[in-house]
């Protein structure tokens, strides 16, 4: 540790600009430095040399010193330069920078409740959904294995945001990040919507953006739960999805949340062929996923009463709790490749997804 410190010399530091270090020309020593200082997520990093950071910064018109957001819980200033450095660390191609900047802006919006997401004992991760033409241009995968490994853009964009949340926001595990277990999505969690295979309007259009606009949407996601069904009947399909969403120890039933679903193209086609709009799918899921409050533990029922009393009045054991306050709060993305698998993404509950336009420099 002390040897590493001798290798490093701080030359400049300000809120807008990162400190400049002289590091050894040795990838192992650099990674040891990042590891010892808690500047990585536990994986090796790409050294953010001045040249690499400048190549990254060439893909935005914004000034390096511009502060994009303050990142809870430490409220560090995420300048464009800080974002670029972490994007380099994560292995991003320089062209990805505008996506990462937009994700930071979205995650810092008050309704996203980054303070809660970063500091909670809940495993909440920030899931990034990319929409619009930029997804195709950058190769953000919304098809086969879109939530898995293999796509450079998915892996590194999600990782860049995680590093910013940790290095700028200060959410180090065991420090300000209090997650009881966390989840694998806290390394990286990013995909595109499969807009070509989506029989309905894409997510960003539903959320008020033009189809030719590119956006990121950030979601406070607890994890993923696969739903495999070979049914071709839209009613049956919705029934089993709704039954999957019902689980008593859920933040969403407790607080009136915002559950997300990644519907596979095959399942989406079944629903569309059944004459169902996305709004109707949401309405039916909302109705069918209502859960008698008695299924919660007595203590959790009291938590629900405290959290949803204004919305629902007195909550008794026979009260039917909806998973979200309104049907439209159930959010749907169509993504994935061929197959009969859709995914339930339970969410943090005290958070609302935020969509932000990606300002591309070209």
Partner 1 sequence: MEVAKRGRAALTICSTAFTTLGRAQASALGDPALPIAVVAHPFGLRSREEVREMARQCVTDIVALITGRGCDER
Q: Which residues bind partner 1 (CB under 8 A)?
A: 73-76, 119, 121, 170, 174-176, 178, 299
> In the complex, what is the shortest distance from the CB of residue 21 to partner 1, in angstroms, rounded to a whole number?
22
> In the complex, what is the shortest distance from the CB of residue 71 to partner 1, in angstroms, rounded to a whole number?
10
Interatomic CA distance for residues 11 and 82, integer angstroms? 16
Nearer to partner 1, 31 or 305 (CB): 305
Nearer to partner 1, 73 or 259 (CB): 73
> In the complex, what is the shortest distance from the CB of residue 36 to partner 1, in angstroms, rounded to a whole number?
19
| Lookup result for tokens 């007595």 | 298
> In the complex, what is the shortest distance from the CB of residue 37 to partner 1, in angstroms, rounded to a whole number?
16
Interatomic CA distance for residues 208 and 176, integer angstroms? 35
Q: What is the token pair recorded at 243? A: 């039954």
Contact 171, 119 (CB under 8 A): yes
Nearer to partner 1, 14 or 121 (CB): 121
Closest by alpha carbon to 159, among 138, 181, 187? Answer: 187
Nearer to partner 1, 76 or 259 (CB): 76
Question: Could you tell me how many helices (H) and strands (E) the chain has, helices first?
Answer: 14, 12
> In the complex, what is the shortest distance from the CB of residue 75 to partner 1, in angstroms, rounded to a whole number?
5
Nearer to partner 1, 13 or 299 (CB): 299
Contact 311, 304 (CB under 8 A): no
Closest by alpha carbon to 347, among 235, 237, 255, 210? Answer: 255
What is the SS3 assignment for 78? Answer: strand
């Amino acid at each position: 540790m002390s040897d590493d410190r001798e290798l490093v010399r701080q030359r400049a530091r300000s809120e807008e600009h990162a400190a400049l270090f002289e590091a050894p020309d040795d990838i192992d020593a650099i990674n040891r430095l990042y590891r010892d200082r808690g500047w990585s997520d536990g994986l090796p990093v790409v050294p953010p040399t001045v040249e690499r950071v400048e190549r990254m910064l060439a893909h935005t018109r914004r000034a390096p010193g511009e502060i994009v957001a303050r990142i809870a819980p430490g409220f560090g200033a995420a300048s464009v330069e800080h974002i670029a450095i972490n994007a380099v660390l994560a292995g991003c191609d320089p062209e990805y920078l505008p996506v990462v900047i937009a994700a930071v802006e979205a995650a810092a919006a008050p309704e996203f409740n980054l303070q809660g997401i970063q500091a909670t004992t809940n495993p909440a991760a920030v899931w990034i959904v990319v929409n619009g033409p930029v997804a195709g241009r950058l190769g953000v995968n919304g098809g086969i294995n879109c939530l898995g490994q293999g796509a450079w853009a998915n892996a590194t964009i999600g990782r860049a945001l995680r590093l910013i949340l940790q290095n700028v926001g200060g959410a180090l595990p065991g420090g300000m990040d209090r997650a009881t277990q966390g989840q694998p999505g806290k390394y990286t969690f990013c995909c595109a919507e499969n807009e070509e295979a989506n029989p309905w309007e894409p997510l960003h259009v539903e959320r008020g953006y033009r189809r030719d606009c590119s956006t990121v949407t950030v979601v406070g996601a607890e994890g993923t739960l696969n739903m495999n069904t070979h049914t071709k009947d839209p009613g049956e399909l919705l029934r089993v999805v709704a039954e999957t969403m019902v689980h008593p120890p859920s933040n969403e039933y407790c607080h009136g949340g915002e559950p997300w679903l990644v519907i596979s193209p095959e399942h989406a086609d079944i629903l569309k062929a059944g004459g169902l709009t996305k709004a109707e799918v949401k309405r039916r899921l909302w109705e069918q996923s209502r859960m008698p409050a008695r299924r919660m533990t007595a203590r959790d029922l009291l938590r629900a009463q405290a959290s949803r009393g204004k919305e629902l009045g007195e909550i008794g054991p026979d009260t039917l709790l909806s998973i979200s306050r309104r049907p439209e709060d159930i959010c749907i993305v169509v993504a994935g490749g061929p197959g009969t698998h859709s995914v339930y993404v339970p969410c943090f509950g005290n958070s609302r997804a935020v969509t932000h336009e990606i300002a591309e420099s070209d």
